[in-house]
Structure 1
Amino acid sequence: MKSFLFPLALTASLLFGCSNEDDGPKCESCTSAAGNTFRICESSNGNYKLTGGDISVTITKEEMENATPKQFVQGACDADLPL
């Protein structure tokens, strides 16, 4: 029985224990001086979703004008304007 359970447990741990930790979206966020939270997340199609309050807009890489997502969302926090 032991000789059957050990290979079974080893196989199960290899199949289910080796998952990729980066499966979720990559996001950056910040909170403005007025307390408004802004968040930008990369979509699977290469675009970004910028959220401020209850409003979300899609941003393309071209619209980010060579800014990193962190720089872009920080600009939204600094401006603190509605989306």
Structure 2
Amino acid sequence: MEKQYKITSSEGLHARPCTLLVSAVTPFSSDVQLTYDGRSVNLKSIMGVMALGIPADGIITISANGSDEEAAVEKAGAVILEEGIGVEV
């Protein structure tokens, strides 16, 4: 399961939104990945997500694999939309 989002926050995906995303998906048992510019990291790792340096207008993919993958992707997407971090592509 995966969904794509365009980052609309003028600061890109900086510390605060990264923390919100990591906190949102950590409770899920599925493996949750964030992919940007051909590189994937564990979305449960704030350092991994921050290391990608995702700018405004960057296109990211949130994907998950496991027993609660759909719920994990939906939760991450809800945070992105509700917090004004990005829009679904």
TM-score (norm 1): 0.25
Between the two structures, name the one with larger relative contact order (CA 8 Å, sep ≥ 6). Answer: 2
Is the radius of gyration larger for structure 1 or structure 2?
Answer: 1
